[in-house]
Amino acid sequence: MNQLTIKKSFRVSGHGLHTGRMVTVNIQPAPSDSGILFRRTDKLSIITQPATADRVGDTSRGTSLKTGRQVIATIEHLMSALHSMQIDNVLIELDGGEVPILDGSARPWLQHLQRVGVIQQDLPKRVMTFDEPLHFEFPETGSVYDMEPSDHFSVDCVIDFAGTVIGRQEAEMHDFTSYASEIAPCRTFVFLHEIEPLLHLNLIKGGSLDNALVFVNQEPSPRLLRRLGRKLHKDPSTFRVHDGMINTTDRYFDNEPARHKLLDFVGDIRLVGLPPVAHFSIYKPGHKANTAFARFLMDYYNNKH
């Protein structure tokens, strides 16, 4: 199979999760062997940043790329959708510093990519394959990654929020055929007690109860709900607290948090530079650990080749 890019350009506008600013993203076809490239058009000095793990900057509540002072944040859901469609080459231009959060999942990006379609290019597809199992641990978060050689990409994911309403959950993806229906719709999540500190840090300004699942470990007081309503510009009378969650919508799956962590991993692991072909077993994944694991794989592969 040859390399793939999209058939034509398309634009998407939306608010950044953390900045809350409106950003327009212009996604364009790119030549063979370009890889996935990001570029900010709102800066006088325009820098094209490859989406690779060695360019990763901050990983608090998302994955960002950084070159000098230029940051492009929250790339993981778009990267996940691109990886699922096995797109090799694309140029992503933004007039701001953060990819829009949209509905908190990868589904809107996937739908746009499916609408424009893909086209084969003139050079053979290049992938990252392995000939031996690999093990990686990230003690800071207790994350553990195991990779086994395979002829296709697959993931088993376990998350463990012991002592919370989420608890231990598992999710799996045997191949990309199930991604659109089983993984892409799953939204980001947060605990209620995390929201106010994040707002104090000038984060999640674009977050809402429409683009994130909010979990609660105990029944929130009416006063807390009113305060949350003011922060999120929502009528607190529309809040529903059920099944350990406060939201104006229901979970798509009982294990939606685990599926979303798998979604994030699909995006973060594409930062190895080439599409990895292997089976991954991941325990307690997160953006910081995911991108450290991606750097580990890049180094291993480059040393072998």
Annotated active-site residue in 152, 174, 287, 305: 287
Q: Are 238 and 248 in contact (CB under 8 A)?
A: yes
Q: Are 102 and 208 in contact (CB under 8 A)?
A: no
Residue 242 CB: number of other CB atoms within 10 A? 8
Longest alpha-carbon distance in the chain: 61
CA nearest 59: which of 302, 299, 294?
294
Sheet holding 143-149, edge to edge: 134-138, 143-149, 278-283, 154-161, 167-173
Q: Which residues lie below 8 Å from residue 82, measured CB to CB, with a gap of 6+?
A: 36, 90, 109, 113, 267, 270
Distance CA 198, CA 279 (A): 35
Distance CA 72, CA 37 (A): 11
Catalytic annotation on 135? no
Show which residues are catalytic: 287
